[in-house]
Structure 1
């Protein structure tokens, strides 16, 4: 797979100064953790998922999460579990018959409801777990987090390559009086299992639900004071210094109108400004918009490359190649490293090309 594959031909593109890299589930974790992009959630009861993957119905879709949790009613869970087994069986057959190559297969995750359901799904899916990139772990907390992670670690010891993507959305994180202790304890736990933690996700919908609030199409989660306060603490704990963790942004709930796209763009702008990469999406129309915003501009790339090149102590500060800012080698070093990793994954735009041009070209506008 490659982001914007339809715009890259023979390793070149009229849009890209540096084209995005190719990747699949076996790509080294140091870069794969930046490649989640727009993670499209689908209810695990959906019957046609395997056929859609084999047929490449959504060519821009590089990550799919098969949801056994909030996307299903309690009475649908068994149906979802059974459908998931059939779907992965179909994908395994397509792989065996060379209808589906690993390089053309989206990163595939299953969101479970509990450690107990994870245990059940591991037993039920067995060798079909080879089709998965990992599991999404909702309402992740110190109470049951180790149980989740130990199970995934054990599967890797048996020969699978599976990652965990915990979601920070519990009441203990939302509540001010328990938040800091819980976040620090979760970080310590995740550090112990860092080799299998691909991405740390933020579940703002649950935070809003607990508070009885909801953003409008004109607003972002950063406009909700209590949620923004919680997000700030999560980012402070998980993004400081050279953290091994990548944080992803909250799901955007609106689709189908120009206002919905405009709101999504506003929220992604705040996400990236705050260091979040990757976003949960619930509609295919969001995919191209989200991933276009992660492409690095030529100016950002030049700044980041220059900072890394000049980080050996000869100079401390220097005017940027665009002549419009000062680059400080020590304070901007971590930013520059992360920007170059993002450039590997999503590419670098040619001077004069905007991200708007990128996502409109993808959808043929």
Structure 2
């Protein structure tokens, strides 16, 4: 896989100063954590998941989560589990007979409901787990952390290269009086499994729901003060430069549609296009500003927007290279190549390291190009 698979060589050469690199589920964990991009969630009850992936229906999607939790009704669980098994079986046969190449398969994850279901699913899937990149752990907390992580480690010891992605989304993390203690304790548990944790996801829809709040198309989750307050603490605890965890942006639930407005008589008053794109762009920019990488998406039209906003600008790239070139202490501070800022080698070192990781995965724009050129 690589980002922007829809672009031919000519377009890539026109837009990118440095092209996105190719990656797979066997890439290093440090690189792979940056490769999720716009992670598309699909209900585990969805028919034809394997066929959609084989036909490249979602060409620019690099990571997919098959969801057994919120997207599946309680009465659908048994059929959803069977659909997951059959989906992976179809993909395995397609790979075996050359109908699909391994490098064409997106990074695949399954979101389970709870640790007991994770244990059940790993037993059911067995060797089919070789197709997976990992599992998503919803409602991750001190109460269930050990149970999730024990099952994951047991599968890794069997030789499966699997990663966990905990979702922080419960009241014991949102509520202020418990938050600091719980976040610090969760971090300690995850540090013991650092090599197995690919990404930390944040469920701000669940956080908002605890207060009966929902953002609009014109606002972002950063405008909801109780959520923003919690996000600040999550970033503080898990983003520290000693053993930093990669964190991803929360789902944006709106997408563009043409709406019909009916009056009381039932007649159509007007039709208008409701654009959710501006709100999404604003929120991804705020995600990036706060150090988040990638974003959960529930609509394929979000994919290019999220991924395009992760491409490194030419100015960022030159700044990062300059900082890393002088890391040994030959220079303490230096004017940037664009002559519009000062780069301080020690304070900006971690920023530069992350920029170069992002540049390797998403690429670097030519000086005259920007994210709009990819939309």
2:306 aligned with 1:290: yes
Compared CA separation, residues 309 and 55, structure 1 to 2 (3 A): same
**1:201-280 equivalences in 2 (<5 Å):** 201-257=201-257, 259-280=275-296
Q: May I ask how many residue pairs the two structures share in their alignment?
A: 359
Aligned equivalents of 1:88 and 1:358: distance in 2?
32
Aligned equivalents of 2:79 and 2:174: distance in 1?
32
1:331 alignment partner in structure 2:
347
Contact 1:109 1:135 in 2 (8 A): yes
1:355 alignment partner in structure 2:
371
Per the TM alignment, residue 243 of structure 1 is displaced from its structure 2 partner at its CA by: 3.2
The structure carrying a bigger strand percent of its residues is 2
Aligned equivalents of 2:235 and 2:244: distance in 1?
13
Which digits, 9 at most, give the CA deviation of each residue in 1:189-229, with x for residues without a partner? 11100111000101101100111100011000000000000
Which digits, 9 at most, give the CA deviation of each residue in 1:140-185, with x for residues without a partner? 1111111111111111111111110000111110010000001001
Provide the secondary structure at the position in 2 that maps to 1:7: coil
Per the TM alignment, residue 128 of structure 1 is displaced from its structure 2 partner at its CA by: 1.0
Provide the secondary structure at the position in 1 that maps to 2:358: helix
Gaps of 5+ in 1: 360-365
1:345 alignment partner in structure 2:
361
Which digits, 9 at most, give the CA deviation of each residue in 1:34-53, with x for residues without a partner? 10100000000001110011
Provide the secondary structure at the position in 2 that maps to 1:335: helix
Q: CA RMSD in A?
A: 1.2
**TM-score under structure 1 normalisation?**
0.96
Provide the secondary structure at the position in 2 that maps to 1:17: strand
1:140 alignment partner in structure 2:
140
Aligned equivalents of 1:76 and 1:86: distance in 2?
15
2:149 aligned with 1:155: no
2:343 aligned with 1:318: no
Gaps of 5+ in 2: 258-273
2:175 aligned with 1:168: no
**1:125-136 equivalences in 2 (<5 Å):** 125-136=125-136
Per the TM alignment, residue 244 of structure 1 is displaced from its structure 2 partner at its CA by: 3.2
Provide the secondary structure at the position in 1 that maps to 2:135: strand
1:299 alignment partner in structure 2:
315
Contact 1:16 1:350 in 2 (8 A): yes
Contact 1:218 1:259 in 2 (8 A): no
Per the TM alignment, residue 11 of structure 1 is displaced from its structure 2 partner at its CA by: 11
1:35 alignment partner in structure 2:
35
Per the TM alignment, residue 242 of structure 1 is displaced from its structure 2 partner at its CA by: 4.0
Per the TM alignment, residue 7 of structure 1 is displaced from its structure 2 partner at its CA by: 2.1
Aligned equivalents of 2:30 and 2:250: distance in 1?
22
Aligned equivalents of 1:47 and 1:13: distance in 2?
38
Greater CA deviation, 219-228 or 3-12?
Answer: 3-12
1:13 alignment partner in structure 2:
13
Per the TM alignment, residue 91 of structure 1 is displaced from its structure 2 partner at its CA by: 0.5
